[in-house]
Structure formats: C-alpha cells, structure tokens
Amino acid sequence: MSSTVLTPKSPRTVEMKTEKEIAMMRRAGAVVAGALAMLRKTLSVGMSTKDIDGLAMSYLEKNNAKPAFLGYRDFPASICVSINSEVVHGIPSAKRKVSNGDIVSLDFGCIVDGFYADAAVTVPVGKVSDEALKLIRVTEESLERGIASALAGNRLGDIGFAVQSHCEQAGFSVVRDFVGHGIGRALHEEPQVPNYGKKGTGLRLVSGMALAIEPMVNAGGPEVRILDDEWTAVTRDGRLSAHFEHTVAITDKGPEILTR
C-alpha cells in the first residue's frame, strides 16, 4: 500500500533493522510473495474483487499471518484491488467483477511476528491492449531499476530518478500524490520513497534500511483523484495505470528483495 505524501511535523527518523529483524521481514515477505503468486494464477474473468479479498485472507490464515491493510486507517479489506484507470487503494466489492481485457493491480501486505511486508503486481486478464501490456512491462522494469539503485551510499533521489526516467522515456508518467515508504515494525515508516527525483539528492541510503519501492505509473498524465469512497485513487484523464512494488532491504551485499 502506498503512502500519502504528508509534510512531517517532527524530524524524520528512519528505523534501522538488524539482521535478525530483516530475517523476520523475510518471513512476512515470503507470505506476501506466495499470496500474490497464487492470486496471479487464480485471477479470472467473472471473479469479483471481493472474491480476491477472500482468497487473500484465507491464504494469510493458512500461513499464520495477519493482514497489514485490514483496519489500516479503517481500510475495510486485506488487499487493494485496482482495475484499469484505478491507480491504487481500490476497495474489494462483491459488485465489481473482473472482465476480459482488464489490467488488475493487486497490492497486498501482511504481518508475521510483528514485522510487515508489502508488495504489488499488475496482472493482465484475457486479451488486453498493446498499450496495457507495454505499461505493465515498463512499470515492472522501472521497479527493477529502482531496486538496482537501492545501494548503500546512494541517495533516495537515485531510486526516484531510475524509476521516473525509465517511465518517461516510454511516454508514461509517474504518480506524485502517492509514494513508497520505509517498512518494518509498521506498514508506513520513514522515509518516503518518491518515484521521481534527481540523482545524488535526498537521504543517503545505508545498510539496515528497509524500503517499499512502488512505482505507480500512468499511461497518460500523472494526476489522480480520489473517489467518494475516500480510498480509490483513479487517473484524472481516465487512462490506464499500473503498479508494482517490492519490500527491499539495503544490505552490504546489495539490495535484497524480501517479497520475491
């Protein structure tokens, strides 16, 4: 789940993780990865987004994990399901059915022994447009590039630059109103991790940080608006949006993806 951009009132404190804590997050990450892999395989035409939430919830129960999103600021479900022009934070509903040609973003997090992991994928269902396939590919590539920049000694702006430049070269735009985030003992920790930025600027990255890097990429303009349900973010121009996310630990050996 992405974080709303807020101006912090107090000085920012980045919670560092020990190797033992990273190992706990790895367990949460494995559950998130397993759930998303299962959902990707199961997703089909005619399913409701509420069905998807039910599958996600039972996967958590089987794996002794707790939902990270259910109840977070009163979010009413365990997973965000955002279809086509929905960017992020779509609320599962029995009335919303998956159709042939949809692109479905699944954003999912869990808690194991007090530690969080968070990840997202966008899945094409049936026959989708060439533009949709390109958007999905470029968004996933931009995440990989962002992760490759998550090196001790680099800065936050290097991650944002890697994501933004790749998406804009393809003719797409990155969302500004939501950002990635630190993660660990809470779903959203410092620092904020924007999907835009300048090389060599911002907070310096050090081993022991854990970040949820999550490009939200629009086929058209970057502007979004929030629906009356107060959660679902949609593109202002009605064009498609895609979302990929991993929880990543910065280590001396390079970035470790905890939700692969």
In the complex, the residues that contact Mg ion under the rule CB under 5 A are 1, 118, 212, 214
Q: Whose CA is closest to 69, among 81, 61, 77? A: 77
- Comparing CB distances to Mg ion, the nearer of 118 and 158 is 118
Q: Whose CA is closest to 22, among 156, 113, 106? A: 113
Least separation, in Å, of the C-beta of 107 and Mg ion?
A: 7
Least separation, in Å, of the C-beta of 219 and Mg ion?
A: 21
The verdict on whether omega for the bond into residue 191 sits within 30 degrees of 0, i.e. cis, is yes
Q: Within a 10 A sphere around the Cβ of 118, how many other Cβ atoms?
A: 27
- With the CA atoms of 143, 251, 33 and 144 taken in that order, what torsion angle do they form, in degrees rounded to the nearest 10? 20
- Comparing CB distances to Mg ion, the nearer of 102 and 214 is 214
- Comparing CB distances to Mg ion, the nearer of 62 and 73 is 73
- Comparing CB distances to Mg ion, the nearer of 135 and 179 is 179
- Comparing CB distances to Mg ion, the nearer of 52 and 212 is 212
Say what angle helices 156-169 and 130-148 make with each other, to 10 degrees: 160
- With the CA atoms of 98, 100, 102 and 108 taken in that order, what torsion angle do they form, in degrees rounded to the nearest 10? 40
Least separation, in Å, of the C-beta of 46 and Mg ion?
A: 29
Least separation, in Å, of the C-beta of 183 and Mg ion?
A: 7
* 101 burial type by CB count under 10 A (0-12 exposed, 13-18 middle, 19+ buried): middle
- Comparing CB distances to Mg ion, the nearer of 47 and 79 is 79
**Residues forming beta bridges with residue 248, ordered by sequence position:** 211, 257
Contacts for 122 with CB less than 8 Å, ≥ 6 apart: 103, 104, 105, 106, 136, 139, 140, 242, 243, 244
Least separation, in Å, of the C-beta of 65 and Mg ion?
A: 16
Contacts for 132 with CB less than 8 Å, ≥ 6 apart: 101, 103, 124, 219, 240
- Comparing CB distances to Mg ion, the nearer of 172 and 178 is 178
Separation of alpha carbons 237 and 87, rounded Å: 12
Least separation, in Å, of the C-beta of 118 and Mg ion?
A: 4
Contact 60, 67 (CB under 8 A): yes
Least separation, in Å, of the C-beta of 80 and Mg ion?
A: 9
